[in-house]
Chains A and B, each alone.
Chain A
Amino acid sequence: MAKSIEISDLDIYYGDFLAVQGVNMSIKARSVTAFIGPSGCGKSTVLRSLNRMHEVIPGARVEGKIAIAGQSLYDSAVDPVSVRRMIGMVFQRPNPFPTMSIYENVLAGNRLNSKKMKKSEADDIVERSLKGANLWNEVKDRLTKPGMGLSGGQQQRLCIARAIAVEPQVLLMDEPCSALDPISTSAIEDLIHELKSDYTIVIVTHNMQQAARVSDETGFFNLKAAGQPGHLVEFNSTQKMFANPDNEATEAYISGRFG
């Protein structure tokens, strides 16, 4: 059920502004792919183009080809809604629904699409998803309380639970751990390891150790120069990237001798 993703000659624009240029990579099914790179180099932008969230921004567009399991994502006959049902996403900033309780937030993907399900089934999904996001023990006694009442890190884990509750085939995570303590971070990493057997996962991170720990392959993005579009510098197996990268800039970035 996991799917692989092929990206070829991808250019991404915000209006007239070319944010990312010429990306080519192939993301394997049932593996974890990490995106690393300095701030503003377009990691989030590439990630968002993978489930057609990029075009939600007015004027934003994509050129080039992205194919998932051989199907072109940007074909005119493709409905972005079904793409997003297949490819879930966790955002850089936690964004729980303010009108909903913790319980409803986890079920939002099902409820908002008016999917009918039994109470026991729903309870089951909530418990499983919250346990997966390492949040269950903290909130099991207050599932009916508003999701906005949680701390920032708890909200982020709630959003992760929400994303895995709909069981997508690909999961995109944009710095999911940047607001989390080491314990929750390691729980999320465990979760990623677990999910890997069924899902394809793409994760953006600023934490080199994390990229090394969780990912099978790593892509390093960089800006050619200030004001220039971002591009993919190197895409290799994580082992190779961290031990013996092909590119000098990659090595400089990973070892902290950047800029």
Chain B
Amino acid sequence: MSTTTVTTDAGTLRAGTLPSWAPLAVAGLSVALGALAWILGLSVVLAVLLAIVVFVVALPGWSLAEKNRRAATDRLVTALIWTAFSVAVVPLVWLIALVVKEGFATLSPEFLTYSMRGVVGDEQGGLYHAAIGTLLVTVMAALISVPIGIFTAIYLVEYGKKNRLAKVITFLVDVMTGIPSIVAGLFALALFVLLIDPAIRWGFGGAVALSLLMVPTVVRSSEEMLRLVPDDLREASYALGVPKWRTIAKVVLPTALGGIVTGVVLAISRVIGETAPLLVVAGFTDSVNTNLFEDRMMTLPVYIFTQYANATEKGYAYAWGGALVLIIIVMVLNLAARLIGKIFAPKTGR
């Protein structure tokens, strides 16, 4: 490959630069090499690896040959970052593609609106009861943990000012972040077994278990957001003779609202797929239950788990379908979080 536009004599501004088609050409070359190696009998993984290595070495090498060290370093780091990025993204895309491929055929109005009540053999069943359960349990968990989380964050940022209690709370929140979800579930179960009834299984228990997992996330994200609010704004409000609590309620919280809402929604999408605690506390059922405070309640993750455990063809199909629905719900929540974050973000008006 000859370099067309490049002259190495210093003095011209374009000295040592590669032509704009260089990355593409090198990418083409490395893919071709990888393909060749594959045809010659190398395994797919090794062939891909070879292509990547060729690209990462060849492009900076070419730049270096043009006596431009800075550009060569830049190319090398850029190539490495793109490689790392692909390594991170490939499994994600793969996962989504697989779930869509396997689950799409199962999606049907019946699947979304039927429960599993009295479904035997090849009869059509659905996940309606599980979707309702997930919705109720998650909303309840959010209702419990969002106020606790936000008020804790307000205490830490606005009142705690690094005093002893604030330090202890921060430490405990950090510890809570690491609680395994099954432990949260067992704790909720033990709590209600001791307090109410040894045989108790109810949706509310699941909500309590999930909120144990949610609270630390909400505290952490809200804390970050509140800290981002500049002290100038608090001072501006104080200087107008506004008391502290009004300043927090009407200046600090609205300014941070976008970020707080985003954090809450992300915390929700984090716990919505939890299986173990719900299996333990909310239990398992085939029928629709809309009362959080009575009887077992089915949820999507538990539904997926039990259908898969059935090990029948129909069961596998339902499990994939349930997984797809769950992913769609999480995606919708994430989009909603972005939208809400945008709507509430302080406006510059420029």
Contact = CB atoms under 8 A, between A and B. Distances in A.
A112 B237 contact: yes
B271 to A, nearest CB: 29
Give chain B's interface residue range (CB within 8 Å of chain A).
20 to 34
A159 interface: yes
Contacts of B232: 91, 93, 95
Interface string B206-250: 000000000000000000000000101111111111110011001
B235 A91 contact: yes
A33 B229 CA distance: 33
Nearest to A98: B346
A58 interface: yes
Contact of B234 (A56, A81, A82): A56
A88 interface: yes
Contacts of A95: 230, 232-233, 235-236
Contacts of A56: 234-235, 238
Contact of A149 (B236, B240, B247, B350): B350
Contact of B348 (A86, A111, A149): A149
Tell me the interface secondary structure of chain A in the complex: mixed
A99 B238 contact: no
B52 interface: no
Contacts of A97: 233, 236-237, 251, 255
A66 interface: no
B164 interface: no
A231 interface: no
Contact of B239 (A84, A98, A99, A148): A84
Interface in B302-350: 346-350
Contacts of B349: 145-146, 148-149
A163 B236 CA distance: 9
Contacts of B346: 98-99, 146, 148
Q: Tell me which of B239, B246, B257, B347 has the highest count of chain A C-beta atoms within 10 A of its own C-beta.
A: B239
Contact of B241 (A111, A145, A149, A166): A166
A113 B235 contact: no
Interface in B135-163: 161-162
B273 interface: no
A245 interface: no
B61 interface: no
A51 interface: yes
Interface string A77-120: 00011101110110101011111000000001101111000000
8 contacts: A58-B162, A84-B239, A95-B230, A99-B346, A112-B240, A148-B346, A149-B348, A162-B240
